[in-house]
Amino acid sequence: MLLFLLLILQTSLKGSCTSVSGHCRFPLGMEDGRVKDKDITASSKWYETTGPQFARLNREEGDGAWCPEGQLQHSDSQYLQVDLSVLTFLTLVGTQGRYARGLGKEFARAYRLNYSRDGLTWKAWKNRQGNTVIEGNKNTYAIVYKELHPSIIARYVRLIPVTELSSTVCMRVELYGCPWHDGLISYSAPEGQLMMPPGYPPASLNDSIYDGTHERSCSGGLGQLTDGVVGMDDFLLTHEKQVWSGYDYLGWRNDSQGTQGHVEMEFVFDRQRNFTSMKVHSNNLFTRGVKIFSSVSCWFKPRLIANWEQETVTFRTVLDDRNPSARYVTVPLNQRTAKALRCRFYFADVWMMFSEISFQSGENPHPDLKTSTHGELKVKSNDPTEETNTPILIGCLVTIILLLVVIIFLILWCQCVCKVLEKAPRRILDEEVTIRLSSCSPANTDPHYERVFLLDPQYQNPAVLRNKLPELPQSAEASACGGGYAEPDVTQCTPHQSFHSNAPHYAETDIIRLQGVTGSNMYAVPALTVDSLTRKDISAAEFPRQQLIFREKLGEGQFGEVHLCEAEGLPEFLGEGSPLPDRDSRPVLVAVKQLRADATLQARNDFLKEIKIMSRLDDPNIIRLLCVCVSSDPLCMVTEYMENGDLNMFLSQREIESTLTHANSIPSVSLCDLLHMAVQISSGMKYLASLNFVHRDLATRNCLVDRRLTIKIADFGMSRNLYSSDYYRIQGRAVLPIRWMAWESILLGKFTTASDVWAFGVTLWEIFTLCKEQPYSLLSDEQVIENTGEFFRNQGRQIFLYSPPLCPPSLFEVMMRCWSRNITDRPTFDGIYQTLRRHVRE
Ligand SMILES: *[C@@H]1O[C@H](CO)[C@@H](O)[C@H](O)[C@H]1NC(C)=O
Ligand SMILES: *[C@@H]1O[C@H](CO)[C@@H](O)[C@H](O)[C@H]1NC(C)=O
Ligand SMILES: *[C@@H]1O[C@H](CO)[C@@H](O)[C@H](O)[C@H]1NC(C)=O
Ligand SMILES: *[C@@H]1O[C@H](CO)[C@@H](O)[C@H](O)[C@H]1NC(C)=O
């Protein structure tokens, strides 16, 4: 299992994500010779010794580079052509001049790119602003890397040096990217339309980077739908800067000319393929009249010159009126073989918007290990408009989680089959009962709650599941497998919430909310559909920024920094009913969380959202938002700070009170203090739970302590380097607090109050070990995840945290109940609070 996981992690980081430009940067073989001499040609060469075969980056053969004949004029169009022999997703170009051991003087200050998929029609590359010229070298030796935004899907590439003045140029190059396994060589679609959202600038939903013809409809090319950039939940926001709103999406209006309730698209592939599925990334901002398609029908054609086959594949989606997130919709294509596909997407609302479409076909080879052994290029881009890696990271996370879910499904499926084969009398697997109960429990008001195994495309189509189990007798199948997954037994569910009627179906986007714990979101908010917040939504008062006096940096995260500041005149500013404790005329210390000045619009909105959420929280055990500075940049939120710092630090520096410790100088705490702390945390969590807030990162590092041992729950941990080992890292970036996370959060991406209860159990454990040890300190991150799988399988092989020596047995029982595999077996925060209170009194 461990190996498997690692393998998955590896392949998903290297492979599945290769379509995302950030991870697809493998050198394609100019330098190391995988591109053969015969595949490098040129419009001309000056001498035999400056022929195209010498245009290899970092090589010094011949006269050291390729140089076209004569002096290059401004109007000239000389080129170097590389045949990559397969369709390739190109993301980066590296160029170098002719060094020739110090003798060379020539280099190309600028160049253009042409590319072709078939070797016949050539297209000129343009960046997102429509410029074709790429800045090249400044000297004869340094390599200049240029990111291609948008990336290119092509087999042939031409580099065309350009000059202002007549001069000699020479070039050495390397191309970077990865094989394009989709095999899609062109799509055609009606031209995207202009939307006039009231109160916003018009959104142009056209396919602006489409490289085919634009006449009437787009045809013969690829564009926005294959550029690897997934649109955001709010289609008006874009990943690129300096583009218009709606840029990432291609969108159509139902009632416009040429659409009779549907949009028809055609897809042409490099060869015949055996299709398993199509994934369509679609917007679902229903508040603005956008929804995923209601159904899609696809026709297939075995050859280009042939008739469309009679039999179609039709797929109905389950519409979702609750979750406005953009999502991938997976359409099963039932292993049909074709070279071309025509699909009709039916409108479910006034607008339909897609940002990406990809195809999975049977013989898709797995990531080309041949190329990946050459190592990914790690270059710091010198392109100022370069994107952050967040979308890629999210993409990878989603992929990993998806894969995990697929594994779970396989395991379960296997168990089902085994059970039936053994003719075991048990009707229903524990797993399924659990999942069923959990997904129907009336306590679930958090929309994240129900996204169980729906991640797997299998589940979207019960028919597929059936087909996979042909040997099973119908009844056995229904009770052993069908029940829990495809068709929940409604009699067991009160209130009834069928997956088919209203449960949001395509959950991949929800996983994206995992980024909530990477520092910008404090709590997961159920169904908060704030698109843009304005000043008046924020109830906290604006504090004069100059009265915040910087003391020290508490932490730093993706969003910005957290500073410890002294706030001059804050008690007076807050006036009557100020939540500040007595100060004894000491300065008021506050934590100031400050958004990075160059934060994206999305991050700004998240930040404002967090302020809004925080300003609604009012509990003695929750850190309080005191005031904000949002009238000018950088945006700040000012929260209480507690002089004893965080609980983890506080406890780890203490010993348990005993007659012995009085003698030495180590400060001590009593068992009673510890219990009292636990009560306070449960009380704060009880409050959050009553508001249906899910914290997602409860741990001692996120609780603050004051002089009187009052505890307040906050969320700083993620932003502190100090605790980085508590978070699981993907590609060197802290991501998930896996040691505190419930199995269903890790495996299924479900974050609920019940998973907070799990984390509370771990927090309790930390308290009673005086934070001297990390949970599961003997297990590596991978082993922790593996252990999660054991929790899921529930075959008694899972490892629990041990009972801390200080911990009364009855309290350990509470912890163990928090770590119940079944969500319904876990206590509520209210219950925990009552139990702990009883302990304190005893
Ligand atoms: C590059 O592509 C453009 C547009 O198709 C074409 O006009 C131009 O001639 C091409 N140049 C070369 C050198 O292929
Ligand atoms: C797409 O819309 C933008 C903004 O309205 C416009 O500048 C651009 O030319 C359009 N592109 C195409 C290919 O029509
Ligand atoms: C889309 O337009 C068609 C024809 O104009 C109409 O029949 C249909 O009801 C519309 N569908 C939606 C979901 O608005
Ligand atoms: C497509 O794949 C399926 C499953 O792998 C297989 O049963 C079917 O024969 C394949 N079809 C063709 C035409 O190769």
Residue recorded with tokens 């879910």? 405
Judgement on whether residues 136 and 253 belong to the same structural domain of the protein: no
CATH number at residue 56: 2.60.120.260
Q: Provide, rounded to the nearest whole percent, the portion of the chain with pLDDT above 70.
A: 73
Distance CA(609)–CA(538), nearest Å, equals: 9
Judgement on whether residues 173 and 260 belong to the same structural domain of the protein: no
Listed ranges 13-22, 117-126, 376-385; the one with the highest mean pLDDT: 117-126
Residue nearest atom 12 of ligand 2, based on CA coordinates: 208
- Residue 429 placed within a domain: no
Listed ranges 88-97, 231-240, 669-678, 791-800; the one with the highest mean pLDDT: 88-97
Answer whether residue 751 shows pLDDT above 90: no
Give the residue, 432 or 585, on which the prediction is more confident: 585
Answer whether residue 266 shows pLDDT above 90: yes
Last residue of a domain, one of 504, 525, 558: 504
Q: Of the ligands numbered here, which is closest to the C-alpha atom of 253?
A: 3
- Residue 10 placed within a domain: no
pLDDT of residue 324: 85
What's the whole-number mean pLDDT along residues 523-543? 52
pLDDT of residue 452: 24
Any idea which of 26-30, 517-521, 606-610, 710-714 has the lowest mean pLDDT? 517-521
- Main-chain dihedrals φ then ψ at residue 281, nearest 5 degrees: -85, 120
Judgement on whether residues 446 and 361 belong to the same structural domain of the protein: no
Q: Which atom of ligand 4 is nearest to the CA of 272?
A: 13
What's the whole-number mean pLDDT along residues 59-80? 90
Confidence band of 494 (pLDDT split at 50, 70, 90): very low
- Residue 398 placed within a domain: no
Residue 436 vs residues 397, 429, 651: alpha-carbon distances, Å: 25, 11, 40
Task: Show the beta-strand stretches assigned E in 283-391.
Answer: 295-301, 313-316, 327-346, 351-361
- Residue 549: CB within 6 Å of ligand 1? no
Judgement on whether residues 524 and 586 belong to the same structural domain of the protein: yes
- Is the separation of the CB atoms in 37 and 59 below 8 Å? no
Judgement on whether residues 172 and 297 belong to the same structural domain of the protein: no
Confidence band of 602 (pLDDT split at 50, 70, 90): confident
Helix, strand or coil for residue 483? helix
Any idea which of 225-239, 303-317, 514-528 has the lowest mean pLDDT? 514-528
pLDDT of residue 655: 81
- Residue 409 placed within a domain: no
* pLDDT tens digits along 791-831: 888 888 888 888 888 888 888 999 999 999 999 999 999 99
Residue 559 vs residues 404, 590, 672: alpha-carbon distances, Å: 29, 18, 38
Answer whether residue 516 shows pLDDT above 50: no
Any idea which of 62-66, 245-249, 516-520, 771-775 has the lowest mean pLDDT? 516-520
Judgement on whether residues 173 and 188 belong to the same structural domain of the protein: no
DSSP annotation of 55:
-
Average pLDDT, the chain: 75
Mutating to test ligand 1, I would choose from 77, 80, 113, 114 the residue with most ligand atoms within 8 A of its C-beta, which is: 114
CA of 287 to the centre of ligand 2 (A): 25
- Residue 360 placed within a domain: yes
Listed ranges 249-258, 595-604, 674-683, 789-798; the one with the highest mean pLDDT: 674-683
- Residue 261: CB within 6 Å of ligand 3? yes
Judgement on whether residues 471 and 519 belong to the same structural domain of the protein: no
Answer whether residue 62 shows pLDDT above 50: yes
Look up the domain containing 490 and give its range. 434-504
Q: Which atom of ligand 1 is nearest to the CA of 78?
A: 13
- Residue 314 placed within a domain: yes
The set of residues, in sequence order, having a beta carbon less than 8 Å from that of 373 and lying 6+ positions away, is none
Any idea which of 70-84, 224-238, 419-433, 799-813 has the lowest mean pLDDT? 419-433
Listed ranges 32-41, 694-703, 799-808; the one with the highest mean pLDDT: 32-41
- Residue 346: CB within 6 Å of ligand 3? no
Judgement on whether residues 175 and 188 belong to the same structural domain of the protein: no
Judgement on whether residues 330 and 259 belong to the same structural domain of the protein: yes
Mutating to test ligand 2, I would choose from 196, 204, 243, 250 the residue with most ligand atoms within 8 A of its C-beta, which is: 204
CA of 244 to the centre of ligand 1 (A): 27
- Residue 413 placed within a domain: no
* pLDDT tens digits along 44-55: 998 889 999 999
Q: Which atom of ligand 1 is nearest to the CA of 123?
A: 5
Distance CA(294)–CA(236), nearest Å, equals: 22
Distance CA(797)–CA(813), nearest Å, equals: 19
- Main-chain dihedrals φ then ψ at residue 92, nearest 5 degrees: -155, 145
Answer whether residue 785 shows pLDDT above 80: yes
Q: Of the ligands numbered here, which is closest to the C-alpha atom of 202?
A: 2
Judgement on whether residues 591 and 463 belong to the same structural domain of the protein: no
Judgement on whether residues 128 and 205 belong to the same structural domain of the protein: no
Q: Of the ligands numbered here, which is closest to the C-alpha atom of 351?
A: 3
CA of 206 to the centre of ligand 2 (A): 6
Distance CA(55)–CA(589), nearest Å, equals: 62
Judgement on whether residues 358 and 438 belong to the same structural domain of the protein: no
Q: Provide, rounded to the nearest whole percent, the portion of the chain with pLDDT above 90.
A: 31
CA of 335 to the centre of ligand 4 (A): 6
Residue nearest atom 5 of ligand 1, based on CA coordinates: 123
pLDDT of residue 417: 53
- Residue 224: CB within 6 Å of ligand 2? no
Task: Please report, in angstroms and rounded to a whole number, the separation of the first and last CA atoms in the chain.
Answer: 45
- Residue 392 placed within a domain: no
- Residue 274: CB within 6 Å of ligand 4? yes
Answer whether residue 352 shows pLDDT above 90: yes
Give the residue, 582 or 440, on which the prediction is more confident: 582
- Main-chain dihedrals φ then ψ at residue 807, nearest 5 degrees: -85, 125
Q: Is 421 exposed, middle or buried (0-12, 13-18, 19+ CB in 10 A)?
A: exposed
Last residue of a domain, one of 139, 154, 179: 179
Residues labelled catalytic: 697
Residue recorded with tokens 């995992």? 514
The set of residues, in sequence order, having a beta carbon less than 8 Å from that of 245 and lying 6+ positions away, is 200, 201, 202, 203, 204, 235, 236, 237, 238
pLDDT of residue 437: 28
pLDDT of residue 245: 87
Distance CA(550)–CA(809), nearest Å, equals: 46
Give the residue, 765 or 483, on which the prediction is more confident: 765
* Helix (H), strand (E), coil (C) string for 618-656: CCCCECCEEEEECCCCCCEEEEECCCCCEHHHHHHCCEE
CA of 32 to the centre of ligand 3 (A): 57
Q: In 309-389, where does DSSP find H-type helix?
A: 369-372
Number of domains in the chain: 4
CATH number at residue 598: 1.10.510.10
CATH number at residue 341: 2.60.120.1190
Answer whether residue 643 shows pLDDT above 80: no
* pLDDT tens digits along 146-170: 999 889 999 999 999 999 888 999 9
Give the residue, 605 or 313, on which the prediction is more confident: 313
Confidence band of 490 (pLDDT split at 50, 70, 90): very low
Give the residue, 134 or 604, on which the prediction is more confident: 134
